[in-house]
Chain A
Amino acid sequence: MIIKEHIERVKDEVYKCVHCGFCLTACPTYLVSGLETESPRGRISLMKATIEDQIVPDQNTFLHWDRCIQCRACEPACPSGVNYGLLIESTKEGINVVRSKSKLYKFIFKIILKLAISNRFINFNSYIFRIYKKFNLSNIFNKLKISRFLPNSIKILESMIPNVYGKPLKYGSYLTSNSLKKEKLGFFRGCIMPGIHGDNMRASVNLLNLLGYDVTIPESQVCCGSLNSHNGDMATTIELAKSNIDLFLKDDYKYLIISAAGCGTRIKEYSQLFEKGSEYWDKSIQLKNKTYDIHEFLFENIKTPPRGVINKNVGYQPACHLLNTQKIDEPPIELIKMVPGINFIPIPSSNICCGAGGAYSVTQPKWSKMVLNKKINEIKDSHLDIITVSNPGCFIQLQGGAEMLKLKTEVMYVTDLLYNSYIKGED
């Protein structure tokens, strides 16, 4: 019983759950379905039933765990302090081991994960997406009636192919022209953003430069490993973690800045991968202490707010991995409010995930879309000009949703909004 073994490793955490149900209404998949099987408490109950031999998890049980977006909104909602992230990762690791017994699955999974973390692929797919959008292949497919033959899930995927903004962001150093030079920063590149959101990422780097920091994006960095750990591939995760820890602990970088919330969480939580007190455990804590999400870093360091006026109604959809795991709630909102002219309008259930969740929109397209629909409709009812986000996954997801439902609201990074205002203010 591989799954059972994996869950038993986190048994104490499982039994911390007193099934009070407080987490139900924090969970996006429960909110759209009303099903306990798709809720945090339900997923934990399934784990408990597994270790108590009440059930033997089958493919169907796996599905309930697979449908978890791992947004971890259930954690702050839980008064017992259940570390749900740990539970689901361990469980998914078990599932992965079981699944990898299927040769085909193993093969596909390996390729996907390998590709996902390879730098070359990042650049490559950005070209593919670019070509796809540039020549409006979607339209052509439609005209040729090819899309009719595609299964529904692929159709949903097709509609989610992201827009591409600018050339990929290159490795290397970006020096500040500000005379008040400050420390050197390391910058974590992440996997999705540099390829397709090159412009947006450059804006982030520029913002740091504006504040007087030199920014370096070292080429030897590797993927943070979250895609692997979300899907239960812990061995690779550990390998990647060690490599990143060694790189960024170097004195060359006073701080490590991250602009993708998922990577931020993964890196700040590297210590969970190692035994307490071990060498890498120590090191991962050290790294955590110098790692900042770009929003919290900007918020703490901006002394002169931007001056360019932007008269718009703006809302904010926080990234789950900022809000629920890194507990960064106010900084992005404060950054938005720094921009003169902005009328900030909170959207109703902003603390609920949009359904992006790393690879979730690819692995669970139907559920991802259910969650997204709810979100987009709320944004629609809030009558915004701009909905800001703090993470590339959210950006792609919301933009896909906005296009699908023909929303007039523009999706924009918080950092872009801020940067625009700075630029405008300089004129």
Chain B
Amino acid sequence: MDISQSLNKKIIDIVGKDFVFADKQDMVVYESDGTHDKGMPDFVVLPRTTEEVAKLVLLANEFELPIIARGSGTGLSGGAVPVHGGLVISLNRMNTIIDIDVDSSTATVEAGVINLEISNKASEYGLFYAPDPSSQHACTIGGNIAENSGGPHCLAYGVTTNHVLAIEVVLPDGEITWFGDFNKEVPGVDFRGLFIGSEGTFGICTKVVVKLLQKPQDVKTMLIAFSSIQDAANATTAIIGAGIIPAAIEMMDKTASDAAEEATNAGIPKNSGAVLLIEIEGFESDINDQGKLISDVIYEFNPVDIKIAKNDQERDLFWKARKGVLGALGRIAPNYFLVDGTVPRTKLSAVLSEVSTLAKKYNLIVANVLHAGDGNLHPCILFDQQTPGDTDKALKLGGDILKVCVENGGVLSGEHGIGYEKRDYMPLLFSEIDLNNMKILKNIFDPDGLFNPGKIFPVE
């Protein structure tokens, strides 16, 4: 029996034969995530319990096999792609909502639970889980932890790390421990905070305690069309500058909004230069106050059309259009490279115009989708992998856009993580000393470097 066979047997002993894949014919479906990056695993395994995960980690240690945690594979940085092969641990079977504690407004869930399921379950008690990545009906909370995911409503509520109180993790040495506390100000090292956003390189998260919030009494959702993307960007900056923080301010440029409209028939005015989707929350009188303040600001930027969602269905449709827009771009080109740079909000307009100059220079279509309120750009470079040379061109354009972001005081990624795709851009933002310091941290958690190798750090 060769090594791989004996390993296979040992894995089966841990999780049972129905939940192991070792045949490449099957494992092609685990080669990539939401990006076009690829890597073939040696094994894919779906454990059911934390203890099984720990046993698998020990086994992988014994055989010096890389370990790659995988949620729903919706990541947009190649994070879950096993670029060096290894054992892919898919957490999709660990999907139980263990407890909802109404009194202290928390939920305890397994890491494979789908983000939206938490809110669905909590809604029985009038509660919800705030971070809402556009992929929230598909991505797992474990993936959110690994990427410190954001979402449209993070403008008002903050990102994943602000809503996760505690996590259970299996450390690279196979130990199981909890990080964090229900209380947010306990003294000591905030390991929870260090782990969140570590992209699967510090261990595997198996359980999560999240904070739940009470659902707003009332919501108002507006769709505002502008004649140019500059107007929309300036309006965004002006709203925030005026001291108003709505629940969400999202932007789509013409290319993006047209594709979204085609996919959903949500009623987005066609041929507008850009649209903003603004949502305010509160209760009636408060919303009216806020709404008035916002429209006062907006009118200075020549809106061409303002639509206010008449009911929940229309509101859901507006959001479906926005949240599905990346997929909808598949109607224009089969591949996209999504750049996730984030800039200070006052730089939005300047950076967007540089992006459009660059797109022209490279002769590629760039669709802009933005978590505008947070300054989080998503220029989406459209290309066709099958056209020779296109992929390289798209990647280069992406690099140039990131350079512009950094030059404007921004960063490489606002919510998708560095992963595999953006690792070589890290030196744009970080000095060698910075990177070395991060490596020290990585070494402390994972001295053997088996957890998600090939990610975050540029190849030397």
Contact = CB atoms under 8 A, between A and B. Distances in A.
B82 interface: no
Given A16-B331, A22-B324, A79-B327, A36 B112 contact: no
B330 A36 contact: no
A267 interface: no
B331 A80 contact: yes
A21 B138 contact: yes
A21 B26 contact: no
B25 A25 contact: no
A87 interface: no
A24 interface: yes
Contacts of B144: none
A98 B84 CA distance: 36
Interface in B268-320: none
B225 interface: no
A132 to B, nearest CB: 33
Contact of B138 (A18, A25, A80, A81): A25
Nearest to B334: A15
Contacts of B28: 45-46, 49, 54-55
A206 to B, nearest CB: 34
Contacts of A80: 263, 327-331
B201 interface: no
A274 B165 CA distance: 58
Interface string A37-53: 10101100110010000
A37 B90 contact: no
Interface residues of B, number: 40
B226 to A, nearest CB: 24
Nearest to B92: A34
B25 A79 contact: no
Interface in A13-35: 15-25, 34-35
A22 B336 CA distance: 16
Nearest to B327: A79
Interface stretch (B29-37, B50-58, B368-376, B449-457): B29-37
Chain A residues touching B, majority SS: loop
A79 B328 contact: yes
Contacts of B324: 22, 79
A21 B21 contact: no
A19 B327 CA distance: 9
Contacts of B74: 20-22
A60 interface: yes
A61 B114 CA distance: 27
B277 to A, nearest CB: 16
Nearest to A36: B29
Contact of A20 (B25, B26, B93, B135): B135
Nearest to B23: A60
A389 interface: no
Interface residues of A, number: 34
A374 to B, nearest CB: 12
Interface in A258-292: none
A3 to B, nearest CB: 13
B25 A18 contact: no
Given A19-B32, A37-B21, A45-B28, A24 B331 contact: no
Contacts of B32: 19
B119 interface: no
B29 A41 contact: yes
A55 B25 contact: yes
Nearest to B91: A34
A79 B137 CA distance: 13
Given A55-B25, A60-B25, A24 B72 contact: yes
Given A37-B21, A55-B28, A81 B330 contact: yes
B146 to A, nearest CB: 15
B26 A18 contact: no
A78 interface: yes
Contacts of A16: 330-331, 334
Interface string B323-348: 01111111100111000000000000
Interface string B105-116: 000000010100
B360 interface: no
A20 B19 CA distance: 23
A22 B26 contact: no
A18 B336 contact: yes
B263 A81 contact: yes
B237 interface: no
B326 A20 contact: yes
Contacts of A57: 25
Contacts of A34: 46, 90, 92-93, 95, 112
B73 interface: yes
A34 B32 CA distance: 16
A35 B31 CA distance: 13
A251 interface: no
Contacts of B23: 60
B184 interface: no
Contacts of B263: 79-81
Contact of A21 (B34, B330, B386): B34
Contacts of B30: 36
Nearest to A348: B120
A16 B328 CA distance: 10
B24 interface: yes
Interface of B: 19, 21, 23-26, 28-34, 46, 72-74, 90, 92-93, 95, 112, 114, 135, 137-139, 263, 324-331, 334-336, 386
Given A25-B137, A35-B92, A80-B327, 9 more contacts: A15-B334, A15-B386, A17-B330, A20-B34, A37-B21, A54-B28, A60-B23, A61-B25, A79-B263
19 contacts: A15-B334, A16-B334, A18-B326, A20-B138, A24-B138, A34-B46, A34-B90, A37-B29, A42-B29, A49-B28, A58-B25, A60-B23, A61-B26, A78-B327, A79-B326, A79-B328, A80-B327, A81-B330, A82-B330
List the 9 shortest-distance A-B pairs measured between CB atoms, nearest first: A79-B327, A80-B330, A79-B324, A34-B92, A42-B29, A21-B74, A49-B28, A34-B93, A18-B330
Interface of A: 15-25, 34-37, 39, 41-42, 45-46, 49, 54-58, 60-61, 64, 78-82
